[in-house]
Amino acid sequence: MAFAISIKEITVLTTMKKYHYYLFDADGTIIDTRELIYQCFMYTGKKFAGAAVPRGLVDRHIGIPLRNQMEIYFGPMDDERFQEISQEHMNYQLKIYPDYLRVFPGVSDTLGRLCDAGKKLAVVTSRRSHTLGFFLQETGLHGFFSALVTPESTKRHKPDPEPAFKALSLIGGVAERSLFIGDSTYDIECGTRAGMDTAYIAWNEQTPEFGTCNPTFFLEQFEQLLPKKT
């Protein structure tokens, strides 16, 4: 991907300002669930629509609430239909997750060091609370976060800024001292509209199209979030 600033410049930029509050997306940012999510939609698509959902389509919509994704793939549905499909979808995800769930390199160490430095961390995700909490426990990441903001937490969802505002209220944060880190344009727009600086992780395989909400930083390694040693 071609970015406006080089990785060398990114390292300098991310250490020029000290943040106290860090908001993280979950899927694709701290936990590697891209293949898990695809496998689940392949299964659900075959079961309920007679054909697997194309990988590119799934990748494009990671980061929005599950119901929104399902209505893109399977059409409008009432609550009963959504409950039926989503229950099967999540049951399958919980069945196969041991084969696919991973933590990205550097995440555990970096989160631990941020906490040790007195920083406040929160998750802002479109993943629902049940599997989010379970996956964070399974990966050993749960204890790093002071708050978890899921679709059940707010009326509006990313890219609306409401989830970011909710997270800040829960951890006592202010936008001017906060950084929102994510792997999708939904994350960057959510943080930007909340008045926060944002960081886009550059190890994402997708080519970003940010429109008017460009990230403040691009990160090549998770460790770049750590304050520079003096």
Burial of residue 116 (CB within 10 Å: 0-12, 13-18, 19+) is: exposed
Residue 10 has pLDDT above 80, yes or no: no
Return d(Cα 119, Cα 133) in angstroms, integer. Answer: 21
Q: What is the pLDDT of residue 227?
A: 77
Average pLDDT over residues 35-43: 96
- Strands of 79-184 (E only): list them: 102-103, 120-124, 147-149, 178-182
What 8-state DSSP symbol labels residue 110?
H
pLDDT in tens, 74-128: 999 999 999 999 999 999 999 999 999 999 999 999 999 999 999 999 999 999 9
Q: What is the pLDDT of residue 64?
A: 86
- Specify the pairing of strand 120-124 against strand 147-149: parallel
Return d(Cα 127, Cα 151) in angstroms, integer. Answer: 7
pLDDT in tens, 138-185: 999 999 999 999 999 999 999 999 999 999 999 999 999 999 999 989
Residue 7 has pLDDT above 60, yes or no: no
Set out the domains of the chain in order of their start, with CATH numbers: 7-32+102-223 (3.40.50.1000), 34-99 (1.10.150.240)
**What contacts 122, CB < 8 A, 6 or more positions away?**
21, 22, 23, 24, 145, 146, 147, 148, 149, 167, 168, 170, 171, 173
Q: What is the pLDDT of residue 60?
A: 85
Largest pairwise CA distance in the chain: 59
Residue 9 has pLDDT above 80, yes or no: no
Q: What is the pLDDT of residue 204?
A: 64
Q: What is the pLDDT of residue 92?
A: 97
pLDDT in tens, 46-84: 999 999 999 989 988 888 889 999 999 999 999 999 999
Q: What is the pLDDT of residue 206?
A: 62
In this prediction, residue 3 has a pLDDT band, given cuts at 50, 70 and 90, of: very low
